Amino acid sequence: MGIYRSEIADLRKNIEDNIGQKIIIKESPGKRSKPQEKSATIENVYHSYFRVKFDGVDRVGSYNYTDLFTRSVEVSMYNGENYEPLVQPQLEVKRVKHEPEAIIENS
């Protein structure tokens, strides 16, 4: 399984089009910990990550686009009425069939 550059570029463009938009970020700090939700605003977009400013505190955070693909971080955007999950391209899984090797006997 792999993440393609075009998929990251599409996701980056989607986030870039929404700079200044309110979002909710859900991240899990560990296996046994409860996911934490934080409200924030998209502040800036860079080549491999994006930066947000958290609401209610004077703090910023940054997240990699790959974190969204691996679902270690989930982002929901405010559409004017409610929050909807950020639509992400589905990863294409390519499976390669392994053919059994021919047995060559030396006579």
Domain range summary for the chain, segments of one domain joined by +: 5-85
What pLDDT does residue 100 have? 62
Per DSSP, the three-state class of 10 is helix
Q: Please write the tens of the pLDDT for every residue from 6-20.
A: 888 888 999 999 999
- The reply to whether the predicted model has a pTM over 0.85 is no
37-90 pLDDT per residue, tens: 999 999 999 999 999 999 999 999 999 988 888 788 889 998 888 888 876 545
> Could you tell me the fold of the domain covering 5-85?
SH3 type barrels. (2.30.30)
How is residue 65 written in tokens? Answer: 């686009």
Distance CA 69, CA 81 (A): 26
Number of Cβ within a 10 Å radius of residue 36: 10
